[in-house]
Structure 1
Amino acid sequence: MIEISSKTNEHFRRWLDLSSSRGIKKHGEFILMGEKLIQEFLQNPNFKIKAEIVHEELKSVTLTHPISKTQRIPIYKLPKAMFNEVDVIGTHFNLLVLEPKNIETLNSTAKAEGLEVIAPLGDPSNLGALARSAVAFKVNKIILTEESCTPYHPKAIKASAGALLKLPLVKTGKFMDFIQADKDIYALDMKGENVAMFNWPKNLRLVIGEEGPGFSGIKGLNRLSVPTDGVESLNATVAASIALFSYAQKHS
């Protein structure tokens, strides 16, 4: 076990940086946080474990795990106060530093297979909530555009309840370029055909927008909506969940 007590330590400084999308992309690492998520992950450790972080009151979870027989996992012990700085979600449980998987680029000529969701979401919590619903309603893949936050952001993984570690993910270029090149995309918007009445094709791409203006000003989009009464609109990920459920009902 390697003890670190200085805030100038390069490992500690790097781990602090992993609380942002920029830091995750820069260092090629992310931190898995949360006792339940870690216990589930260790049942099927499908990402490379680069390190485990503990403090003086925590026992290692990897040291006694069968994976320790096949790979050497460095264990770092921090003072509790420093540990809490890295544990940005406040899980108070061991942290695992993992290596992200390479996200493949979507073939520009590939057609949709099943329901594919385009997620130009910069908010990690929104992306995570969307991914959780995507797993629940059997979405085939999530397409991340350049505007998307990293799916390995700690807040995204937490909001997804680990779904982002299970879902097929692909990436593409800028959102506007992508939707202009694919005329079969449907956008979930305040104005459009009622999702409950829509004759969902089996294969299609559905794009989810951020809160606020949505897709106003974008011409030529096929639009679907979740009608509301008493409120102007729903949270984007709530509306997305309803739409995904509607699709699943038609193709269950």
Structure 2
Amino acid sequence: MLTAHKIKILQSLDRKKFRQKYNLFLVEGNKTIKEIPHSPYQIMELYSVNPQEINHIFKDTTQVSATELKKISFLQHPKDSVAVCKLPEEAAPTEVPIEIILDGIQDPGNLGTIIRLADWFGIEQIRCSIDTADVYNPKVIQASMGSFLRVKVVYEDIADYLGNTNNPVLGTDMEGENIYTYNFPERFSLVLGNEGNGIRPEIESLLTQKITIPRFGRSQATESLNVSMATGIVLGEIFSAKA
């Protein structure tokens, strides 16, 4: 039963401290929820306006009205179901050929989109600085469109990691080698910086190569690209050479 107390708890999960307190986060929409059983994540509770569509996912699905669903949803226009999932144990990073390193990405939508791009291009792991947006933020989950189920996201001291890796460390910058002429190595880390400030100086000092997306337009009104847009362009060029 969806009690007032339960609604209050679920509504609080938009904040990291409450996600950690209750060890829970929300996933919305049948399309993504149906993928959860094939992932490391565990559904604890499931609320749906049409439980018959999703009973095979979780036997104890609770039917709710559209009004009740809206109370526990973080969407302006709630979808069909909301799954309450258990926060997993923090995954240990692994060695992968190409990985994305995020230095202080603050916007949850950007993080979710980057996770989705990583999934699309087959990048299995993203390492994030401790101050990067939380992967279990509802806006990240929504923007990833289910890709958070397949891409490992870990948080750590990225300066310590980059200072000890043997792989080349590439970083996006307004001044760097043209991505369309640069010969990308087989293994490397790709660093992307904060939306407003870019890559921190202490991280920039660890780069082995700066790369840039050249501007072809004549207008100077656009000063820079959104970090998730830049990620998509760079990954597209990296994998076009591998195709």
**TM-score normalized with structure 1 length:** 0.81
Moved more, 216-225 or 119-128: 216-225
Instruction: Tell me how far 1:50 sits from its aligned partner.
Output: 0.4
Asked if residue 125 in structure 1 is aligned to residue 109 in structure 2, the reply is yes
Q: Structure 2 unaligned runs (5+)?
A: none
Instruction: Tell me how far 1:181 sits from its aligned partner.
Output: 4.2
| Equivalent residues, number | 233
Instruction: Indicate which of 7, 29, 36 corresponds to 1:34.
Output: 29
**Separation in structure 2 between the aligned mates of residue 216 and residue 153 of structure 1, nearest angstrom:** 24
* Map of 1:139 onto structure 2: 123
**Separation in structure 1 between the aligned mates of residue 54 and residue 171 of structure 2, nearest angstrom:** 48
Instruction: Tell me how far 1:240 sits from its aligned partner.
Output: 0.8
Q: CA RMSD in A?
A: 2.5
Instruction: Tell me how far 1:115 sits from its aligned partner.
Output: 0.9
* Map of 2:72 onto structure 1: 86
Q: Which amino acid aligns with 2:154?
A: V
* Map of 1:52 onto structure 2: 46
Verify the 8 A CA contact 2:177 2:210 in the aligned structure 1. yes
Asked if residue 115 in structure 1 is aligned to residue 101 in structure 2, the reply is no
Asked if residue 205 in structure 1 is aligned to residue 189 in structure 2, the reply is yes
Moved more, 211-220 or 162-171: 211-220
Instruction: Tell me how far 1:225 sits from its aligned partner.
Output: 1.0
Q: Structure 1 unaligned runs (5+)?
A: none
Q: Which amino acid aligns with 1:209?
A: G
Verify the 8 A CA contact 1:32 1:98 in the aligned structure 2. yes
Q: Which amino acid aligns with 2:83?
A: L
**TM-score normalized with structure 2 length:** 0.84
Q: Are residues 41 and 217 of structure 1, via their aligned partners in 2, closer, same or farther at CA, if it must alter by over 3 Å?
A: closer
